Chains A and B, each alone.
Chain A
Amino acid sequence: MTDAAVDDLPRDVAELIDVPQYEETSEIPVERGYIWTALAAVENGNPIFWDDAVAAELTGGPIAVPTMISAWFRPHWWAPRRTKQRLPLQIHFDLKERFGLPEAIMTENTITWYEPVRVGDLLTTCQRLRSVSGEKTTRLGTGRFWVTDVEYRNQGGELVAVESYTSFGYRRD
């Protein structure tokens, strides 16, 4: 990876750092069918999610798979009366557009879990831009890295998870 001279971040982008944006309520409640589909996709047989007696003993009832957290945050591909597709992690797409970077890839992900997510929960999220790098060149192309956090809370306002994504938006050289 090569670095161009670190340029100053445009003011309109710098002003968004650490500002809560896109506070949204999930389009789907936490439900078991999707939990089982997610488990099947990686052949995860953890009985907490498959055996109600184990869930009752250990977690006080059925919970969602922790690593599914972002699934509850992603909008439907389509919904009635929606004229424009809603995108997950909208800040990421805003930055692609702002910097004219047509391609992007995730490079790093951190998830920290707090209260378990329970079946029937309806989560709310907000996003925060944490940082944007100067222009860099990698084997994929030239662009910028940025870090975006997503905070997840349940309907009672309890913090359930914080997720951090590092993305590389780029144009192919």
Chain B
Amino acid sequence: MAKLTLDQVHEGQELPSLRYDITTTTVVLGALAARDWRPMHHDYHFAVERQGTKDIFLSTPNQASWFERFVTDWTGPTGRLGRIRFRMRDSVYPGETMVMEGVVRKVEVDDVGCGWAELDITMSQSGRTCTLGYARVALPTEPADNPWARHGDRWRPAPAE
């Protein structure tokens, strides 16, 4: 797995897209891996008849995990997530291919020397943009740098207001 450094990143850069065929197993496995026992993530009848959705659907923490995989597939292991935010406009269902895409919104080095890439990320199915998100991920400023070595005041995961 490559180790992306900040000098290899620029605004407007597209991340390699990720396509994955979502199945019922994907949804259930993801929910249970997150210890999310709510029935809309494993019980078709509850989801459809009680919640009014088309099928069971990906849970919130599982969507976060898919976004993490998408981002760190690109950065390699030295990429360290600082913040992720996403808004779920529509559900992600079994039986369709999920497509994850991302674009670099901003590249910066903060006041304590940490390199950051800010990303706009999406999760879509069949042309529907189901989830719109944002990720802020720390990247090494040079090959010997390691964002994971930052602690306390040297780690500022929230962007400056």
Contact = CB atoms under 8 A, between A and B. Distances in A.
A: interface residue count bin: 35 or more
Query: How would you classify the secondary structure of chain B's contact residues: helix, strand, loop or mixed?
Result: mixed
A67 interface: yes
Interface in B55-70: 60-69
Contact of A67 (B1, B65, B146): B65
Given A114-B155, A172-B52, A37 B1 contact: no
Interface in B5-45: 20, 26, 29-30, 32-37, 40
A107 B65 contact: no
Given A47-B77, A107-B88, A66 B68 contact: yes
B77 A48 contact: yes
Interface string B136-156: 000000000010100100010
Nearest to A112: B83
Interface in A93-125: 103, 105-116
Given A41-B65, A67-B68, A113-B83, 7 more contacts: A42-B62, A44-B69, A44-B73, A47-B77, A67-B61, A74-B35, A166-B87
Interface of A: 34, 37-38, 40-48, 54, 58-60, 65-68, 70-71, 74, 77, 88, 103, 105-116, 140-141, 165-166, 172
Interface of B: 1, 20, 26, 29-30, 32-37, 40, 50-52, 60-69, 72-73, 77-78, 80-88, 146, 148, 151, 155, 157-158
